[in-house]
A and B are shown apart, each in its own frame.
Chain A
């Protein structure tokens, strides 16, 4: 067992990561150790990354304990680079983390500086001179290479950079040279953000955290208006929207809604979120309030103008669609359903119940099975087949009740689709009992009886 991390007092006592636990114990008998939990550490890092989303959407993980933020174009929101870095470090420190951070032209330079010159902000274009005095280990090379540099007397990045390129490439490979160039700000290595950047987003930051739902919804309405303007310019509407609530203490909550048709009407979007927030199983807990609310259009589709402002439409279909959206926001996609015909004669598969939001004009139409004047041939309500026991051919027992058969018609043989599964064929009968209840029974393989449905 080895030490993976040590705190400041342990460092002062001479302990270091990588040391065997036995030797650590030998040096400091009173050392207190805890089992390392890498997955939990990673989860925590991801949580912090989520929180950093409030500063910039481009956040990349740099395991085991680093985060890379691309703040291009975001610094002016925080009154400059230095102020932004200070704010980030302060906020994280307040949450109880030990933080080291730096801001530079490239990710690698920033990382190197964060480790060796905490709090540095490099002015544009001066990466190489700031990075030059750092030790070669800052390049995050493999230990063998770093050792080789040391042996060659190259102790700082600046000294390495002073050598000729061809020499370095021949000795250490092009990967090392690229790392060097990136650290010096001469080459660009883009970070790979954890989350895809949504095409459309709008956000609002609050100096004083908001706590009441009314303000939150009003904010969403305002953001939806802003989002709508951008969408309108591109002739698009949102099909899926996500609101992100950043709580002052660092907790983040995502709430998503979907619409059946592309929309950019703020009132409609606000209403969907109101339904959704109202129906959340674990309600949005403002705690000490939210200091940032963001609205993103996660999925967009082209839409014509008249379709965009659903809220002001009067045509029945649009109103129904708005109702479907509201109900879906409240109850979930798989609870608001519509029927679709299917091309099979197996009774339970002859129709599908599909989410109404995704309903399309069906390719098939419903087909009548009975002739004019005849009784319905399919039941109003279907069960998953329930076994019944026949009593002397004149009655059957179903759910503990004996039904005397007054009328019986059949069989209607329905063959199962052998290319799907090898279920036995069924012989269906319509039956009426003495009280006028009408059943749909079937017999399997000539012996077992089931109730499959009931007629009106």
Chain B
């Protein structure tokens, strides 16, 4: 290994040591967790985009993430989202494996209210996660807002998840991970209807991007690799190799 590589590794280790809430939560798909350097990072901002008319799948994916994160959950929702994508159903959440008693629902009229509430809630360190469900692409969601949310999340250790409905993924930075989620067809012929997600990891600050098909186990509360096997794209959009690749090389 060259001196330069060693230096980079040392710097990475130093960075990892000062990372404030470097606790990661395993999602349950081994290769995905490896790409995420151990799992979904707590105390960070994650963004989940719903593919057009796949709002329910994105909702399920976010619900799955919050089950993994644990703790009380605040779900901030625009009124319009309730009409357009349907109201959150407690019975359905319970069937999914998310205890409705953990959930606090806040209905706001506009994105401004949602973001204000989010930055307040992110200071409440006992929360496990804050989900901010936003319709469309409000102007308010700019780089400054992203940075503010990410900072608030980092300070308290509460994970912020932006659930973006009815909009195309944008390239605003500041997020730890960005996903584009759509539903995938059930594979199990007998017992069909289990949640299966086709998740495109478009941005990953601590590793390469990729594309996964995974199912959610409602009983165990973990994601599982779908039977057809994970498809990991080559990290062509990044100049450096992922930590995983380096680890295996070393």
Stretch binding the partner chain, chosen from A44-52, A96-104, A434-442? A434-442
Min CB distance, A423 to chain B, in Å?
19
**A373-397 CB contacts (< 8 Å) to partner B:** 373-383
**Are A331 and B89 within 8 A (Cβ)?**
no
**B207-237 CB contacts (< 8 Å) to partner A:** 216, 218-219
Min CB distance, B142 to chain A, in Å?
22
Q: Which residues of A contact B93 (CB under 8 A)?
A: 339, 380
Q: Which residues of A contact B95 (CB under 8 A)?
A: 368-370, 376-378
B166 at interface, CB cutoff 8 A: no
B157 at interface, CB cutoff 8 A: no
Min CB distance, A315 to chain B, in Å?
8
The DSSP consensus for interface residues of chain A is mixed
**Are A327 and B86 within 8 A (Cβ)?**
no
Chain B 60-72 interface mask (CB, 8 Å, partner A; 1/0): 1101100000001
Given contact pairs A327-B117, A455-B193, A366 touches B59 in the complex (Cβ within 8 A)? no
Cα A299 to Cα B148 with chains together (Å) = 38
Q: Which residues of B contact A247 (CB under 8 A)?
A: none
Which one of A341, A380, A432 contacts B92 once the chains associate, using CB atoms below 8 Å? A380
A407 at interface, CB cutoff 8 A: yes
Size category, B interface:
35 or more
**Are B100 and A407 within 8 A (Cβ)?**
no
B195 at interface, CB cutoff 8 A: yes
Chain A 424-444 interface mask (CB, 8 Å, partner B; 1/0): 000000101011111000000
**Are A326 and B120 within 8 A (Cβ)?**
yes
**Are B219 and A320 within 8 A (Cβ)?**
no
Number of interface residues of A (CB under 8 A): 54
Given contact pairs A335-B106, A382-B89, A432 touches B198 in the complex (Cβ within 8 A)? no
Min CB distance, B85 to chain A, in Å?
6
Min CB distance, B63 to chain A, in Å?
7
**Are A366 and B117 within 8 A (Cβ)?**
no
B11 at interface, CB cutoff 8 A: no
Minimum CB distance partner of B101 in chain A: A339
Q: Which residues of A contact B91 (CB under 8 A)?
A: 347, 350-351, 366, 369, 378
Cα A81 to Cα B27 with chains together (Å) = 75
**Are B126 and A320 within 8 A (Cβ)?**
yes
A201 at interface, CB cutoff 8 A: no
**Are A379 and B89 within 8 A (Cβ)?**
yes
Which one of B86, B105, B117, B195 contacts A338 once the chains associate, using CB atoms below 8 Å? B105
Cα A407 to Cα B63 with chains together (Å) = 24
Given contact pairs A381-B86, A381-B92, A453-B86, A376 touches B100 in the complex (Cβ within 8 A)? no
**Are B218 and A381 within 8 A (Cβ)?**
no
Q: Which residues of A contact B149 (CB under 8 A)?
A: none
A312 at interface, CB cutoff 8 A: no
Given contact pairs A339-B105, A375-B191, A381-B89, A456 touches B63 in the complex (Cβ within 8 A)? yes
Chain A 329-355 interface mask (CB, 8 Å, partner B; 1/0): 011000111110100000100110100
Cα A432 to Cα B188 with chains together (Å) = 13
Chain B 115-141 interface mask (CB, 8 Å, partner A; 1/0): 011001100111100000000000000
A: residues with CB less than 8 A from B are 275, 316, 319-320, 322-324, 326-327, 330-331, 335-339, 341, 347, 350-351, 353, 356, 362, 366, 368-370, 372-383, 401, 406-407, 409, 430, 432, 434-438, 453-456
B: residues with CB less than 8 A from A are 53-57, 59-61, 63-64, 72, 74, 85-96, 99-101, 103-108, 113, 116-117, 120-121, 124-127, 182-186, 191-198, 216, 218-219
A-B CB contact pairs (8 Å), 15 listed: A330-B120, A336-B105, A339-B90, A339-B103, A341-B100, A351-B89, A366-B94, A368-B94, A370-B218, A375-B218, A381-B89, A435-B54, A436-B186, A436-B196, A454-B56
Instruction: Please name 12 further chain A to chain B contacts, defined as beta carbons within 8 Å, in addition to the given A375-B192, A409-B192, sorted by A numbering.
Output: A320-B127, A323-B124, A327-B117, A327-B120, A337-B104, A339-B105, A370-B95, A375-B194, A383-B86, A436-B184, A456-B60, A456-B195
